[in-house]
Structure 1
Amino acid sequence: MEKPCESNGHIGKHSDYTACQVEDNASGAKPRASGHKCAHFLKKNAIVILTVSGVLVGVGLGMAVRRMNLTKAQMTYFAFPGEMLLRMLKMIILPLVVCSLISGAASLDTRSLGKLGGIAVGYFLVTTLMASGLAIALGFIIKPGAGADALNSNALGIEDTVTTNKETVDSFLDLARNLMPSNLVAAAFRSYVTEYVIHTRNTTEGMVVEKIPVGTEVDGMNILGLVLFALILGVALKKLGPEGEELIRFFSAFNEATMVLVSWIMWYVPVGIMFLVGSKLVEMGDIVLLVTSLGKYIMASILGHIIHGGIVLPLIYFAFTRKNPFTFLLGLITPFTTAFATCSSSATLPTMIKCIEENNGVDKRISRFILPIGATVNMDGAAIFQCMAAVFIAQMNNVDLNAGQIFTILVTATASSVGAAGIPAGGVLTIAIILEAIGLPTNDLSLILAVDWIVDRTTTVVNVEGDAFGAGILHHLNQKEAAKNQQELNDVYVEAVPNLKSEAETSPLVMHRDQTLNPPCIAVPESKESVL
């Protein structure tokens, strides 16, 4: 059958293809082709363009509405579309994390799971320590707290609403307790926290006041416990073999359905982000006063995020993969914009998983295994923010940090960032753990909280960027290992028949042809076996 070609609405024969092509060129096919490419580009990147536009429009909208002097009630109504986006993203976190980790852990064999898990933990630990070290170095170079000893929350009109009386040891014990929730259903919406009861008693030495730790539960998903349980359950289902396949398929199907929901939610992201950014600009206090007073701290924190996210992490990715890291980041503009607007690593997780799989081609088994863990325990941006805040408060109180205190900040910031909630201002309260550990007062945390909404945006972007690069590195190493194993398999294929002479002396998997027992005229069935 001759292939037709179309020119100006007329159908011709394939034999007249050259004439059709010439006529198309003469009648403006090139503009049509370029228009088609432009339309294809806009269609492919519609979410990205709309999301970035949402941020820009949100800034303009917020500045315009700010002049209208809205009441508190009117501000709440104005922020409603943005609140709906956060609620939708948080709604999807529980099924996404649990199902993706169970199906991811079950899809990997135990050896691969252990190896990938070890590399992931090593990557998270090293990058967080590097981030903490960078923040402390910048803190000593820039000295954001020098000359700020006269600064206080009352002078800036900041309400002192931060109460921190928690012992450092109890903070780490709570972290361990949350890893093992006593009730999985309650872990979906509540976390374990230690509070204190003051008990006084009379002794021979006089009145003694004791602070007794008492366990209680507060609102907030216990994501650490759910992550650990999902990983263990996935491994257990894998061990069951055929009996566990039905449940694995159920969680895999649930996971795919959740990703479909995510794709629908992503179309609302630009609208939600526009009102999130706009409402934050409307609600903020005197930004000029805050920036002039705490400008060095803000700039030092953001500079740390820029260096770590723009230089350190890309260099680590390039060292492992020998690929352009900025090309990798280009496919993740939507989740980065979502992170900037929502200030929540957990809320960014759905869009991150979808974009890193579709735009960057990361294996689903890798992304759905490592990203939920990274969103929980890998907090490079938070480590920078916490260390910079600790150095700032030390300098503001004219305290010279010694080597022991610096080491304590490094270790405590790395450990406490694991337990930091992936929510807005989640890292502020963990700074109190660092301050208590090095003996600094916690009454200056109100200053940090006052500008947290500025610094927290770059903090969250660096947090999710670290997770994304971790997934990209693991994907590359997994592909490299698969290619190596395939090459080894190709190298060890041999022709094999039973070796009757020395059956007890050779491996049952590698058996060579015995020419004396099987002359060429006799046809012997051949098989291929692998030493692996």
Structure 2
Amino acid sequence: MGQPATKTATSPPEQNARPAGHGTLYIVIAIIAAIAVAWVLPNWAIHLELGGQIFLRLLQMVVVPLVMASVMSGILGLGDVRKLGKPGAYAVLYYMSTTVLAVATGLLVVNLINPGQGIDPAIVTGAQEEAAEHVDKATAEIEKAAEGQEVSLGLIFKKLVLMLFTDNLLGSMVEVNLLPLIVFSIIFAGMLTTMGERSHTIATLVISINDTLMAFIMLLMKVAPLGIFCLVASRFGKANAEDKLDDLAGVLAGYMGTVLAGLAIHALITLPLLLYIFTRRNPFRFMVQMGQAVLTAFSTASSTATLPITMECAEVQAGVSKRSTEFVLPLGATVNMDGTALYEAAAAIFIANAYAAIDPSFDLNFVDQMTIAITATLAAVGAAGIPEAGLITLLIVLNAVGLPLTLVGLILPVDWLLDRFRTAVNAFGDSVGAAIVDTSFTDKPTDK
């Protein structure tokens, strides 16, 4: 008896895709309504946090079992683990290429706009003082991870390699450390494909668990607009109550504009161009099909929490094959951080420009910028395995070029908002990757 296999597509992706429906529209309305409520009634909006946290926890609750079941199901669906070689190589090549392109875009935009030049030195000094507590906590995490060694590119690379493996599988599940879970799932399912009839029962169980979890995700999507309304309203309400929305103007406007411009170029030009070149899909239609996932990523500020919805949208709305979504998207949510890498490169140079206001002798040369590019790329890939990922990885980048870590205080007032945009770009990049890698499977459908 042959190996259990998941269903594969029998028609081109565009014909398989279902209409996006009203889900995306409802989420857009929920986000707009939430921002309006947070602006008019900020203190009331803050109390909606409970509803938002319940929705977020429901998503996070299924992440670990879904990742393991979906990756195993995807491998079992191949029938022969050796068929994973080409799609796996394509996925890794895609992740690295798009991350490098994102960093390059960030460096180009920030050098053209040069935010932070001419900033009032008093603002820089004040920001350093306010950031001291955050930096002390994050620095402790860096020192703990470095185990007393000097933080360097070599150490970062070593940590990235070690992140692939774990000495405690249950511990990785508890900490939602997905990368070693994915490695284990690939190896375990690969072994099942070589065991013949003996593996039939457990393989069927894995596929059934995966199908049940996806049905649960579809149920969650029915309440997604309400959960997203609560999440966005409470977060924006808190920012408005603390007068942090006022910080979006003035000195930080140039910095925010730079990061958003870079993210827009990557999400609206680079990724759609890659999608069209490799799949001949209509990029704009694909964006609409992935709309619910992208908006959920914006609302939750977590590509990992958004993973279940990204998988559902890619398969059901965009028509990406199950074998690709189940393998590519869990891996992408862990290591494919285009938006984060772009943001860190742009933020580091903005901070360097601001630092020059209090230390005119400081000069960020070409070598320093290349160091920022390499460090941002490596640190972004490793972000998922580090507590307070955004702050800590940015501190690693600043440390690499000798900038005072307390200068991170300059961007803290708006980091919560930019985090949502870069997470949305991360989620969209993952889905584009799944569509591109889908074309690399050798057993192509013959029905045209």
- What's the TM-score once normalised by structure 1's chain length? 0.72
Q: Does 1:189 align with 2:174?
A: yes
Which residue number corresponds to residue 146 of structure 2?
none
Correspondence for 1:260 among 205, 211, 215: 215
**Equivalent of residue 195 in structure 2, options 229, 234, 240:** 240
For residue 64 of structure 1, report the CA deviation from its aligned partner: 2.0
Q: Pick the aligned partner of 1:270 from 218, 222, 225.
A: 225
- Residue identity opposite 2:95 in structure 1: F
The answer to whether the Cα contact below 8 Å between 2:247 and 2:414 also exists between their aligned partners in 1 is no
CA contact (8 A) 1:346 1:423 kept: no
Q: By how many angstroms is 1:424 displaced?
A: 10
Match of 2:75 in 1: 105
Residue 465 of structure 1, aligned match among 405, 416, 428: 428
Equivalent AA in structure 1 for residue 170 of structure 2:
V
**Structure 2 counterparts to residues 330-345 of structure 1, below 5 A:** 330-345=288-303
Give, in whole Å, the separation in 1 of the partners of 2:65 and 2:246: 42
2:411 alignment partner, SS class: helix
| CA distance 1:228–1:44, change in 2 (3 Å) | closer
Structure 2 counterpart of 1:119, from 73, 80, 90: 90
Once the two structures are overlaid, the 10-residue window that deviates more, 470-479 or 257-266, is 470-479
- Is 1:224 aligned to residue 179 of structure 2? yes
Q: What is the aligned partner in structure 1 of residue 415 from structure 2?
A: 452
Alignment partner, residue 84 of structure 1: 54
Higher strand share: 1
Equivalent residue in structure 2 for 1:52, among 23, 28, 32:
28
Give the aligned partner of residue 387 of structure 1.
345
DSSP-derived class of the 2:228 partner:
helix
Measured after TM superposition, the shift of residue 112 of structure 1 is: 2.2
Distance across 2 between alignment mates of 1:158 and 1:327: 45
Matches of 1:345 and 1:283, distance apart in 2: 22
Change (3 A) 1:305 1:423: farther
Cα deviation, residue 417, structure 1: 1.1
Deviation of residue 449 (structure 1)? 2.5
Q: What is the aligned partner in structure 1 of residue 275 from structure 2? A: 317
Q: Going by fraction, where is helix more abundant, 1 or 2? A: 2
Of the two structures, which has the highest relative contact order with CA contacts closer than 8 Å and spacing of 6 or more? Answer: 2
Report 1:1-80 matches (<5 A).
45-66=21-42, 69=43, 75=46, 77-80=47-50
Contact persistence 1:98–1:227 (CA under 8 A): yes
Match of 1:308 in 2: 266
Would the aligned equivalents of 2:131 and 2:406 in 1 still touch at CA under 8 Å?
A: no
In structure 2, what is the Cα distance between the partners aligned to 1:392 and 1:313?
25
For the pair shown, the structure with the greater C-alpha radius of gyration is 1
Asked if 1 retains the 8 angstrom alpha-carbon contact of 2:172 and 2:178, the reply is yes
Report the count of equivalent residues. Answer: 407
For 1:419 and 1:142, locate their aligned partners in 2 and report how far apart those are by CA, in whole Å: 28
Structure 1 residue 356: Cα displacement: 1.1
SS at match of 2:135: coil
* Cα distance in structure 1, aligned partners of 2:393 and 2:385: 12
Q: Deviations over 1:407-433 (max 9, x none)?
A: 222221111111112999632210111
Aligned-pair identity (%):
36
Partner of 1:162: 135
1:106 is displaced (CA, Å) by 2.6
How far the C-alpha of 1:382 sits from its partner, in A, is 0.5
Match of 2:444 among 461, 465, 482: 482
Code of the aligned partner of 2:252: L
Aligned to 1:405: 368
TM-superposed deviation, 1:483: 5.4
**Residue 432 of structure 1 pairs with residue 406 of structure 2:** no
Could you say if the C-alpha distance between residues 88 and 423 of structure 1 is closer, same or farther in structure 2, counting changes exceeding 3 Å?
A: farther
Q: 8 Å contact 2:345–2:376 — kept in the other structure?
A: yes
* Paired residues of 1:428 and 1:448 also in contact (CA < 8 A): no
Higher mean displacement: 285-294 or 423-432: 423-432
Task: Work out the CA distance in 2 between the residues paired with 1:61 and 1:136.
Answer: 36
* Structure 1 residues 281 and 483: CA distance shift in structure 2, 3 A: closer
CA contact (8 A) 1:346 1:422 kept: no
The structural deviation recorded for 1:172 is: 4.2
Judge conservation of contact 2:53–2:231 (CA < 8 Å) in 1. Answer: yes
* Residue aligning to 2:11: none
Matched-pair contact (CA < 8 Å) for 2:66–2:210: yes
Counterpart of 1:205 in structure 2 is none
Tell me how far 1:128 sits from its aligned partner. Answer: 0.4
Deviates more, 1:296-305 or 1:390-399: 390-399
Distance 1:244 1:153 in 2: 63
CA distance change for structure 1 residues 343 and 376 in 2, over 3 Å: closer, same or farther? Answer: same
8 Å Cα contact 2:131-2:407 kept in structure 1: no
**CA separation in 2, counterparts of 1:246 and 1:415?**
40
Equivalent residue, structure 1, for 2:109: 138
Deviates more, 1:401-410 or 1:93-102: 401-410
> Displacement of 1:303 after TM fit?
0.5
Aligned CA-pair RMSD: 2.4
